[in-house]
Structure 1
Amino acid sequence: MKRSFLNIFAVAAIGLAVVSCKNSNETKTTEAEVVAVPEATAQKYTVLTDASTIEWKGSKPAGTHFGTINLESGVLNVLENEIQSGTFLIDMTSIEVNDLEGDKKASLEAHLKGTAEGQEDHFFNVAKFPTGAFEVTGVTTDAEGKMMLSGNLALKGKKNNITFPVSLTTNGDDLTLTSESFNIDRTKWSVNYSSKTVFGDLGDKFVNDEIELKIVVKAKKA
């Protein structure tokens, strides 16, 4: 009896640990907010799109896929090593899958982009919504001293405000903005394909609502 109780306790503890790990990088999502305006003395940086990237990761019971999305353009305004404002355009037509090759890679990319016949609105429907955007609305510091970047993320014609941890470094005329990994709930942007919170009869044929993202932005003084 004692051993059974200990086993149950151990399973419960592991479960709590898994939940804690999952929740630790969940992103606060709220309604869109007013875009930040820089001070006149802020330094403008232009994003180097060839050196910047958004890494993504999605999962389902059968496994995980990951890849990248490119930035189309962007600017950051910085004053005394603090972000004042910024706007980034995201090239949704550049969605790439990096864990597959050949026909499987091409098939999943077409599925995510919605370019396959009959799958136009399964995920991102890039023919209709080729560009996403992120607009900085503010920067705060959390209890651990981390810089928290807030901004309006626009995808598929929907806009929500998200907040996630970032670090900022400068070296001469060069700037690097790097986020920690964070999750967004895709259904907040009407990306509902095979979501078990939207559709109730999927069994184990669902795709998790959470998309994990990590952002690296390289920029140079304008």
Structure 2
Amino acid sequence: MKKVVLSLVLVASVLTACKSEKKEKIEVKEAVKVEEKTVDLDNVDTEVSVLNWKGTKPGGAHNGTVALESGTIVVEEGVLKSGEFVIDMTTITDLDIPADNKGNGKLVAHLSNEDFFDVTTYPTSKFVITSVEEVEDKLAVTGNLTIKDVTKSVTIPATVLEEGGVITLKSETFNVNRADFNVKYGSKTFFGDLQDKFIDDIMEMSFVVKTKA
């Protein structure tokens, strides 16, 4: 059986997202127990692979990227089988504020400190695939997502394509509630007197991961 192995890093660093609490979020469940497996492979092209994030609040929004660090995904005969992906939380960037504007550095520093993702204490996050199902010609990729010190099971809509020897794993935009992962700053889930000073709990994300040619 032909086996194609690639590496990637998934999701996870985000300010907040999806402009209103009305937007549907991915359902989170308790983490699924899986057998720990270690595969020493890293074939992802980190130069072209990216995790995108978007966060919103009343009257405003920010968006940016997070870099990939390491991980492994296994595809057999074009079918996604498994994967374990590490997220480098120290690489959060913002794209909507010019890089030379001091507001850019201020925002990134805030996302990185204890108010949000506390990247000094938690420099990485992780996504471990536990199952994959095909639903209406798309994949429902379920896995254990760890952000900070919380691990939950989430299901992400994605597709796998192969062209010219390069395999691309691409998600649709998906939403995760940061409150589920103990990211508290400006959250109406944790604070009831914020009025219009809150930041939406819903984080909007998408990713594109490609193997090296």
TM-score (structure 1 length as normaliser): 0.79
Match of 1:100 among 97, 100, 112: 97
Contact 1:47/1:76, CA 8 A, preserved across alignment: no
- Asked whether 1:125 is paired with 2:82, we answer no
Give the corresponding residue for 1:6: none
Structure 1 stretches (4+) deviating beyond 4 angstroms? Answer: none
Partner of 2:11: none
CA distance in 1: counterparts of 2:165 and 2:77, whole angstroms: 14
**1:112 corresponds to 2:111:** yes
What are the ranges of 5 or more consecutive residues in structure 2 without an aligned counterpart? Answer: 1-18
Matches within 5 A, 1:179-190: 179-190=171-182
Q: How many residues align?
A: 189
1:162 aligns with 2:154: yes
Matched, 1:215 2:207: yes
What residue number does 1:50 align with? 47
Q: Which has the larger radius of gyration?
A: 1
Alpha-carbon separation, structure 1, partners of 2:91 and 2:172? 22
Q: Deviations over 1:2-53 (max 9, x none)?
A: xxxxxxxxxxxxxxxx99x833xx3121111134789xxxxx7722222211
Alignment of 1:1-222 (within 5 A): 22-23=23-24, 26-35=25-34, 46-101=43-98, 102-114=101-113, 121-142=114-135, 144-220=136-212
Q: Give yes or no for contact 2:42–2:70 (8 Å, CA) kept in 1.
A: no
SS at match of 2:80: strand
What TM-score do the two structures reach when normalised by structure 2?
A: 0.83
**Aligned-partner SS, 2:199:** coil
* Mapped contact 2:125–2:148 kept (Cα < 8 A): yes
RMSD: 2.1
Aligned residues of 1:139 and 1:148 also touching (Cα < 8 A) = yes
In 1: Cα distance, 2:134 partner to 2:198 partner: 36
Q: What's the % identity of the aligned pairs?
A: 41
Q: Residues 45 and 80 of structure 1: is their aligned pair in 2 closer, same or farther, counting only changes over 3 Å?
A: farther
Question: Which blocks of at least 5 consecutive residues in structure 1 are unaligned?
Answer: 1-17, 39-43, 115-120
Secondary structure at 2:89 match in 1: strand
Highest RCO, 1 vs 2 (Cα 8 Å, sep ≥ 6): 2
Q: Distance in 2 between matches of 1:45 and 1:139?
A: 21
Q: Deviations over 1:141-180 (max 9, x none)?
A: 23x3321111111111211111011010112431100000
